[in-house]
Structure 1
Amino acid sequence: MAGLTPNTPTPQDITVHGASRVLEVLFSDGQTFRIPFELMRVCSPSAEVQGHGPGQETLQTGKRDVQIVALEPVGHYAVRPTFSDGHDSGLFTWEYLYTLGARQDALWRDYLQRLADAGLDRDAPMPTAGGHACGHHH
């Protein structure tokens, strides 16, 4: 996998906390992150969310209450969560999970800023398939 070096910390333990809606990941370097399901869902590395290039991202909304209903290991480098809204195409590599955990505050601010720029609310329902709400500034 690109970017996965021997120095990339690996998860020793991954716990899905359904009640508090966080994924707790204990990494081999001693870091423990509690990553909100909502952040994982809105930052999913899948094409459905990220699009197929810069500016193609689909801004995800209405995911505050999203749950992870299944977590499937992929090889020895990633997990594939199934979210309660049916989204299951995102592969979260160890490196990506680490980045999400380490940078969640900045990622969250970025997400809220993108919502504001698009004039959307975090709890707005997603536009149905066919309508692409893409507001992304560079």
Structure 2
Amino acid sequence: MAGLNPDSPIPTEIKLHQKSRILELAFENGERFELTYEFLRVFTPSAEARGHGPGQEKLQIGKRDVDIVSIEPVGNYAIKPVFSDGHDSGLYSWDVLHNLCVHRDELWQAYLDKLAAEGGSRDLADCPAPAVKPPPSCGSKH
């Protein structure tokens, strides 16, 4: 079984390069690719980031310095990276990974364009702190 699509190439090698923050992939068809940890985090297939349909995507900001802490295999069809920002719900099937590899440059440019249009930043220090909802005050009606 390849990915979720039976025609997807299967990775024969998956290497983490911690210093350069690169995931190196070799596929059974001879293709080799490198994806940055930031790219993988930005393009997580997780519903938390992608939503459940078109238009529900959340722009991922402040991910430039994210690390991959570990990678867990998921059956014979995917991997689940655990990122240093706590994100661990993205399952990267072989077909998703191969698609990210093949379309890396145009996906990255589209991301940079959207980030610029929305005033976002790749750097965490430049991102606003998440809004925290204050607890209800004593005696208030909910």
Instruction: Specify every segment of 5 or more residues in structure 2 that has no aligned partner in the other structure, as ranges.
Output: 134-142
Task: State TM-score, norm by structure 2.
Answer: 0.85
Q: Distance in 2 between matches of 1:28 and 1:47?
A: 29
Alignment match, 2:56: 56
1:113 corresponds to: 113
Maintained 8 Å contact 2:3/2:77: no
Question: Would you say the 8 A contact 1:61–1:126 is kept in 2?
Answer: no
In the alignment, what sits opposite 2:100?
100
1:125 paired to 2:134: no
**CA–CA separation in structure 1 for the residues paired with 2:76 and 2:128:** 33
Aligned residues: 130
Contact 1:21/1:67 (<8 A) preserved: yes
Identity %: 49
2-side partners of 1:77 and 1:31: how far apart?
Answer: 18
Cα distance in 2 for partners of 1:72, 1:111 equals 26
> What's the CA shift string for 1:76-124, capped at 9, x where partnerless?
0000000000000000000111111111100100100110121222223
What are structure 1's unaligned runs of at least 5 residues? 132-138
> TM-score under structure 1 normalisation?
0.87
What is residue 38 of structure 2 aligned with on the other side? 38
SS in 1 for 2:72: strand
Mapped contact 2:13–2:26 kept (Cα < 8 A): yes
Amino acid at match of 1:44: T
2:32 and 2:61 map into 1 onto residues whose CA distance is 27
What amino acid sits opposite 1:107 in the alignment? L
Structure 2 CA distance, aligned partners of 1:51 and 1:129? Answer: 20
8 Å CA contact 2:17–2:23 kept in 1: the answer is: yes
**Root-mean-square deviation (CA), in Å?**
1.9
For the residues of structure 2 that align with 1:8 and 1:75, how far apart are their CA atoms?
A: 15
